[in-house]
Amino acid sequence: MSIPIEIGTDDQFAALRHLLTTESYTEATLCKRYGIEKLSDFEDVPDRDQVEPWDKDATGVLFRLFLESRFISESTVREKLGTDNLELLYALGLVHGSEDNAEEVWAPVSLVPYVGLWSVCDSWHRPDRAVLAPKDPVYAPIVSNAHRFFQLMPKMKCERLLELCSGTAFAALHAAKNYAGHAYAFDISPRSTFFAEFNRRLNDVPNVTVKEGDLYAPADGVLFDRIIVHPPYVPVLRPKWVFHDGGNDGEAIVRRVIAEAPQYLAPGGLLYMLSMGTDREKPYQHRVREWLGESQSEFDVAVFPIRLVSPEDFAVRASAGSKTYTEDQYRFKDLFRQLEIESLVYSVVILQRKVEDRPVFTIRRQFGPRTGASELDWAVEWESLVASRQATGRILQSRPKPNPETELRVLHRLGDSGWETAEHMLVTPYPFSMEARTDPWAPHLIAACDGTKSARELFAVMKEAGVLPQAAPDEEFARAIAILASGGFLFLEQL
């Protein structure tokens, strides 16, 4: 494990922070310099150039070194950054001399400004475009999956947050600076924990503990209010990368994250995981629940699929470019067939350890075009209320309004008397992509919900109109309202 940089002194890190701050080495500056709207666009174009000459100032030189990974003459770096700053970069190992040209320097790592932090990590390649490929590379937080992980993780205040499989630890560092009393970053890779500690020192975030170890092993008895994890989850035939390989079905690490969580998640705590699992004879969400073992009765389970991948499509994509393409494709297909895998589910999984005396819930909601972190948090909070003892009373007091994006699709089939109604389907793209067959009275109820009447008043109106029987219990009506709200077809105000 060769790491090209050095953990410096406090004075050296202070000097580096001063340099980066003075030169506005920020996410906003990066986007402006490269003519992109958001940082996640940066990886879309290989060898992206700055829109203005890179050598006009020190900021352009820094981006040239640490994002573009190019050779630059030492004299240019010295002129733009100053001798002291060049010597600082040499001392920390952030720039090296060229082996082929004594007058040039280059950066063996990337330094990425992201979400108000600086993340040092492995570079994509050398200036000669040879790929840098350590066995356990540590990637930038702006690669698409890491960026999605950060965007979908909760940002609510908590006392103790743990980031598992932490890589550069950018999520733990951001949490410690913004909403966590103390954050922990654990990773099994020595390379990852080295970069994480370097980044902790660089960003001057003292309330972060970086530890090396296998998943939860470094916890030393600490219970966490929040656990966030982006584990290895890709099915593999031959192990290759620590950050990538999830065993032959992709679930080797994912299962352990879930199964071991009860030992480390405090009552009332939440675990968020962006990963992939599989639907088999049992859907993924029910398999997640089973992994909790004897602790199932303490945990709510929510699975939010972002996309589903068929075993056949995965086999083709995973084998592409391999010298043993045909053999690998058949091996994957045979493996998935033996395991009876119906689909691979790329999703956010949320566990909640309940504290109140109520039944637990298990839900699954499909991402829609605008689903984000706030919609995930709402779903867990709402289902917690529905499962509570106060649910019926609070729902009946609420004032339901229809989701304006809800559609009613009615299927007719030809019968003996002509066109006959065969099916009512409610559809909405927000907050989740949902379709639900429903009884004929439900569309009438939704149309009557204008936000001015309570659910209890609507119940009386529906009975008076003969849509519902007079003897219908209010608990069942509240349950029907809850189902429509869970699907996103109704919004409940003044709840």
Please determine, for residue 107, whether its predicted confidence score (pLDDT) is greater than 60.
yes
Q: What is the pLDDT confidence band of residue 294, given thresholds at 50, 70 and 90? A: very high
Supply the CATH number for residue 442's domain: 3.90.930
226 and 348 assigned to the same domain: yes
407 and 346 assigned to the same domain: no
418 and 468 assigned to the same domain: yes
At 295 the pLDDT is 98
Supply the CATH number for residue 210's domain: 3.40.50.150
Please give the single-letter amino acid code of residue 396: L
371 and 406 assigned to the same domain: no
pTM metric for this prediction: 0.93
Question: Which residue's structure tokens are 């086999």?
Answer: 315
Domain final position from 338, 370, 388 = 388
Domain final position from 356, 388, 420 = 388
1 within some domain: no
280 and 218 assigned to the same domain: yes
417 and 372 assigned to the same domain: no
Instruction: For residue 154, say if its preceding peptide bond is cis, omega within 30 degrees of 0.
Output: no
> Does residue 312 contact residue 247 with C-beta atoms inside 8 Å?
no
37 within some domain: yes
What does each C-alpha distance from 275 to 24, 39, 141, 304 come to in angstroms? Answer: 34, 22, 16, 11
318 and 345 assigned to the same domain: yes
199 within some domain: yes
What does pLDDT average to over the chain?
92
341 and 425 assigned to the same domain: no
| pLDDT tens-place string over residues 202-258 | 999 999 999 999 999 999 999 999 999 999 988 876 556 554 565 788 899 999 999
131 within some domain: no
Q: What is the pLDDT confidence band of residue 495, given thresholds at 50, 70 and 90? A: low
Please determine, for residue 476, whether its predicted confidence score (pLDDT) is greater than 60.
yes
Average confidence (pLDDT) over 2-9? 87
| pLDDT tens-place string over residues 118-156 | 999 998 777 877 766 667 788 888 888 888 999 999 999
Question: 229 is in which domain, residue-wise?
Answer: 144-388
253 and 347 assigned to the same domain: yes
370 and 422 assigned to the same domain: no
Q: Structural domain tally of the chain?
A: 3
219 and 200 assigned to the same domain: yes
Domain final position from 326, 355, 388 = 388
5 within some domain: no
Backbone angles phi and psi of 372, in degrees to 5: -145, -165
Please determine, for residue 448, whether its predicted confidence score (pLDDT) is greater than 60.
yes
107 within some domain: yes
In terms of average pLDDT, the best of 33-47, 279-293, 451-465 is: 279-293
Q: What is the pLDDT confidence band of residue 446, given thresholds at 50, 70 and 90? A: very high
137 within some domain: no
User: What is the C-alpha to C-alpha distance for residues 112 and 369, in angstroms, rounded to an integer?
Assistant: 28
456 within some domain: yes
473 and 404 assigned to the same domain: yes
Average confidence (pLDDT) over 407-422? 93
| pLDDT tens-place string over residues 352-388 | 999 999 999 999 999 999 999 999 999 999 999 999 9
Specify the 3-state DSSP secondary structure of 302. strand
